[in-house]
Amino acid sequence: MNLLPLPAFQDNYIWIIEDKDSSDIWAVDPGSAKVVIEYCAQHEKNLVGILITHHHNDHTGGVAKLKEQTNCLVYGPKHLKHLVTHPIKEGDEIAVFTRVFSVLETPGHTLDHLCYFSDQATPILFSGDTLFKGGCGRIMEGTPKQMLAAMEKLSALPDNTLVYCTHEYTLANYRFALSLEPDNTDLIESHLASTLLREQNKPTLPSNLDLEKKTNPFLRSHNPSLKTQAAQQLKEEVATNSVESFSQVRRAKDTFS
């Protein structure tokens, strides 16, 4: 199978999963129906399934129309009764062409947030708005404790996992990450590579977990100098427990300019 990003709105990507042996495709978080319909028309593809990570409109706005037009399967959070044909929860498995994806509940950005992980060959993660390249989603419904637990859950996946997130936020994320770790050589290198990609209008994604663990401040809030920097930016005392340290890094990003 083949994965490709369809840009939508300002900075969203709708990930398309193509089958090797047929014209069938799946779409992840189709916030726009038009983008997917035009892609299908241009490339003679047939939408057969949708994965939803969470309820926000930029991830679900196209689902109703796509379902109506194609009769496709829709997997997603169970409270989205009007949209999903298959409500899912932690540990459920979904067959997508030759792969099986398991459902990981990662509340924090929203309470309903799900990630999709497939462990065959090169592992793949659809991380929605939970984990970004160099960043994480804002805590809009959950708590810092939940978001840190989500970060730890994703960190435990294999290092070679390819990370497909839903937004092109990399360069803004790296500006903040570099303010905390100006001497992190992996970060400096990845910032340079990502800058070159954006100059050519190319996606900086997918990322991979090994790189994220070396560069993403939200997977590194235990790092002594990083958490000290975050506290300094907030003009607060350095936190003494892991949840508070994570919360300081998140709040420092929220107010970073």
Footprint of Fe ion on 55-94 (CB under 5 A): 58
Both tokens assigned to 116: 């999709």
Q: Per rule CB under 5 A, is residue 29 in the interface with Zn ion?
A: no
**Residue (131 or 226) nearer to Fe ion, CB:** 131
CB of 223 to Zn ion, least distance (A): 26
**Binding track, positions 29-58, relative to Fe ion; x by CB under 5 A:** -----------------------------x
Q: Per rule CB under 5 A, is residue 129 in the interface with Zn ion?
A: yes
Q: Per rule CB under 5 A, is residue 56 in the interface with Zn ion?
A: yes
**Any alpha helices (H) in 74-202, and if so which ranges?**
144-155, 170-180, 185-199
The C-alpha R_g of the chain, in whole angstroms, comes to: 18
Q: Per rule CB under 5 A, is residue 129 in the interface with Fe ion?
A: yes
Q: Which of 109, 112, 113, 191 is catalytic?
A: 109
Both tokens assigned to 126: 């659809």
Contact 85, 65 (CB under 8 A): no
Candidate ranges 71-79, 124-132, 200-208, 224-232; the one touching Zn ion (CB under 5 A) = 124-132
The counts of H helices and E strands in the chain are 9, 14
Question: In whole angstroms, what is the distance from residue 109 CA to residue 128 CA?
Answer: 10
CB atoms within 10 A of CB 70: 18
Contact 66, 37 (CB under 8 A): yes
- Binding residues vs Fe ion (CB under 5 A): 58, 129
List the catalytic residues.
54, 56, 58-59, 109, 129, 167
- Binding residues vs Zn ion (CB under 5 A): 56, 129
